[in-house]
Amino acid sequence: MTVIARLDAPGCGCDAAQGLASIDQALERIRALPRRKDTEDVPLAKAMGRVLARPVTARANVPPFASSAMDGYALCAGDLIGDGPWVLPVSARIAAGDDARTPLPPGHAARIFTGGAVPGGADCVVMQEAVTAHPGRIEIRPRPTPGQHVRSVADDMEQGDVILPAGRRLTARDIAAAAASGRASVTVTRALRVALLLTGNEIVPQRQDLAPGQIWDVNGPMMIAMLTRPDVEITARAVAEDDADALTAQIAALADMADLLITSGGISVGDTDLVKPSLLALGGTIHLSGVAIKPGKPVSVGTLGRTAWLGLPGNPVSAHVIWQVFGTALLDHLTGRQPVTARRHAVLADPLEHKPGRCEMRPALLAGHDANGREMVRFESQTHSARVATLARADGLILIPAEADQMRAGDLVEFLPFET
C-alpha cells in the first residue's frame, strides 16, 4: 500500500473505529486546546531549545559594509586599461576590523584579507593566488570583473528582515543567526510546567527488590527523560493513591502546580482505573477518550481549569508510542511551536501482516537502502506493549494503515523517527 500522499497531513487518515477518534481527529482536538500566552526574554546563551514567541529581525544590514570574500587585493576593475598583464602599486593594507574609510587612489590596489572592508574606489578583489606580488606592487592577469569576490552590503541580512519566525524551537544554527542579526536576547514562551502522576500498585522503584506481583517503574524514568528539555520544567512527580478520594485530591493538587498534568495508567475501563472519574469529579473536561490506534487505544486528553491533561497507557511501549504521536504534538502546541513534519517515506525490508481496524504504529529499525537508494525499515513480527527492549532496538515507528491486512517487501510506508 502506498501512503505517499499523506505526509502533509497530521495523522494517518484512517476512519474512526468502534466509536474511537481517528489519529487525525485526535490531533485536531489536541491543537484546539487553549494555549498559554505568557513569555519571557532570555539571553542567547540560554535560548537553546526554547520556542520563539516573537520573530527575530535583523537590527542592521549584515554585513554593514562591502567586504572581501578572499585574501587578495582590492582594486577598481575599470582602472585596468588595454590588454594585460597590469601592474598596480599597493598603497594600503586592510585586515578584518580595520578602518577602511580612506578611498583607494585611482590606479592603486590595497592588500586585503577575508572580512576586510573594501575601500571606496575599489569594486573587486583579486585573490592572492592570481597575483604575482613584488615589493610595493602587484602584477595581475587575467582581467577581474566588478563585484568579483566582494560581499555586498546586506548580502546576508537586510535591516528589518525576519530571520527567525515565531513558533520556532531554537537550534544552535538559529542561535548563530540571531547573534549575526545583532540580537543579544530573544522573546520565548515561558517553560511549560509539567507534573507527572504514575498509577499502579505493582510499580516499585529500581532500588527495591521485586516482591511477587511487582514490576519496576519504567514509565517514570522514561517520561522524565522525554521531558528533560529546555522548554519544560518538571514541577512534580508522584505515585497515585489507590483510594478514589485521595486520588482526586492528588490530581487537584498537581494540576494547581502545572500547565500540563501527565498520568500513566488508570485510564481504561477497569474497576481500578480511577483517573477519569477523578478528573470529572473535579469539574474537568475530557476532550478525547480513546483513539483507533495500536498500541495505546485508551489515550485520553482533557482539561482541568487552565491545566491540560494527557492520560497515557500504563504499558511502557504503548506509553512511548502515544507520546511520540500525541504527546510531542501536545507539548509543541502548548509551548507555541509550529507543527513540523518529521515523518518520511521508507520501504519495507520484509512483508508484514496486520489485523485491519486500527492504525498500527510499530517500532522499526532503519536497515540501510535498497537497490534504488530508498531507505529500508525492519521490524519485529508484532508489537507487544510489554516488550520494552523493542524500543531500545528501534529507530522510530512505521505507520500501518487501518485497512491494510498485509504489505509486501518493497511497499512504501511512513516512518516517524523517535524524537527522544
Whether residue 372 is found in the same domain as residue 285: no
Q: Side-chain half-sphere of 219: how many Cα atoms within 13 Å?
A: 30
Whether residue 320 is found in the same domain as residue 393: no
Residues comprising the chain, all counted: 420
Please identify, among 275, 307, 335, the residue that sits at the C-terminal boundary of a domain.
335
- Tell me the three state secondary structure of residue 108: coil
**pLDDT tens across 41-87, in order?**
999 999 999 999 999 999 999 999 999 999 999 999 999 999 989 99
CATH number of the domain to which 350 belongs: 2.40.340.10
pLDDT given at position 385: 62
Beta strands in 35-108 (DSSP E): 39-43, 56-57, 67-68, 72-75, 86-94
Residue 246 CA: distances (Å) to CA of 195, 250, 251, 253: 17, 6, 9, 11
**pLDDT tens across 94-150, in order?**
999 999 999 999 999 999 999 999 999 999 999 999 999 999 999 999 999 999 999
Residue 172, domain extent: 49-61+157-188
Confidence tier at 215 by pLDDT (50, 70, 90): confident
Whether residue 237 is found in the same domain as residue 272: yes
Whether residue 235 is found in the same domain as residue 258: yes
